[in-house]
Amino acid sequence: MDDSQKLNNVWTARWNDRYSSDEFAYGEAPNNYLEEQLKKISVGTILFPAEGEGRNAVFAAKLGWSVSAFDISNEGRNKAIKLAKKNSVIIDYEIGELDTLNFKSEQFDAVALIYAHFPANIKSIYHKSFDRFLKTDGIIIFEAFSKNHINYVNTNEKVGGPKDTESLFSLDEIKSDFPNYEIIELEEKEIELREGLYHNGLGSVIRFVGRKRVFNH
């Protein structure tokens, strides 16, 4: 087994452990920013990467979106499917890393990246892949912890988030990862989180809403 496989196994075990309890790690309610942004745009097809226990995917399905999601955690998927049934909606939820899944070019009207903290060595690669799956004029909705969040989590572990700056985000990284986007909103902001067991307290986040454009060079 090579080092990348070992890392993947550790990563998968970590998330399976987090999602194995009956209680929802980040609650059953959707992320506030996602809720706010989804209500501004027309319903269509949407992808939720790193969707965990399904709170955001289920919310989108309740609004009428056709929802696809994926994660590496079987425990997360199991709880997401239960949550979908509880809410009388259907979500298409796959298990695996992105390169093992069969999403198609320009399949989605929106991609929602909500605390999708992929390992530092692949996060930009993943962002560029999501662009391929998004239709022209499609929307990216993004909220995740900023590099400055390291100061918050060091003070209060209950706010959650990675403890290495490489896994956190900067405004410049988002601009670099999504270069062909009309920026509708891009900011770094201090917010107070109240999401389940693991997102509680003040934190620093990057928020981004972008519309995919085709620019002539």
pLDDT digits over 131-175, tens only?
999 999 999 999 999 999 999 999 999 999 999 999 999 999 999
User: What's this model's pTM, rounded to 2 decimal places?
Assistant: 0.93
- Rounded alpha-carbon distances, angstroms, from residue 148 to 61, 81, 104, 158, 182: 33, 34, 35, 16, 25
Question: What pLDDT sits at residue 11?
Answer: 73
d(Cα 193, Cα 195) in Å, to the nearest integer? 6
pLDDT digits (tens, 9 = 90+) for 14-42: 889 999 988 999 999 999 999 999 999 99
- Sign of the torsion angle spanned by Cα atoms 99, 101, 102, 105: negative
For residue 217, the model assigns a pLDDT of: 42
Structure tokens at 42: 């027309």
Mean pLDDT on 206-216: 88
**Mean pLDDT for the chain overall:** 94
Q: Which CATH number fits domain 3-212: 1.20.810.10, 3.40.50.150, 2.60.120.10, 1.10.10.10?
A: 3.40.50.150
Report in angstroms the alpha-carbon separations of 129 from 29, 60, 64, 80, 99: 28, 22, 25, 24, 9
Strand order in the sheet with 92-95: 92-95, 66-71, 45-48, 108-114, 134-145, 199-212, 181-195
What are 70-91's pLDDT values in tens digits? 999 999 999 999 999 999 999 9
What gap in Å lies between CA 118 and CA 11, rounded to an integer?
10
Instruction: Spell out the domain ranges in the chain.
Output: 3-212
- Note whether 141 and 37 are within 8 A (CB): yes
In the numeric block, which tokens belong to residue 87? 């809410």
Is residue 100 over pLDDT 50?
A: yes
pLDDT of residue 6: 53
- pLDDT for 96: 93
Q: Which of 63, 83, 79, 62 is nearest to 71 (CA)?
A: 79
Q: How confident is the model at residue 213 (pLDDT cuts 50, 70, 90)?
A: very high
Can you tell me the distance from the alpha carbon of 27 to that of 171, in angstroms, rounded to the nearest whole number? Answer: 27
Q: Rounded distance, CA 195 to CA 44, Å?
A: 26
Amino acid of residue 98 = L
Strands (E), 85-198: 92-95, 108-114, 134-145, 181-195
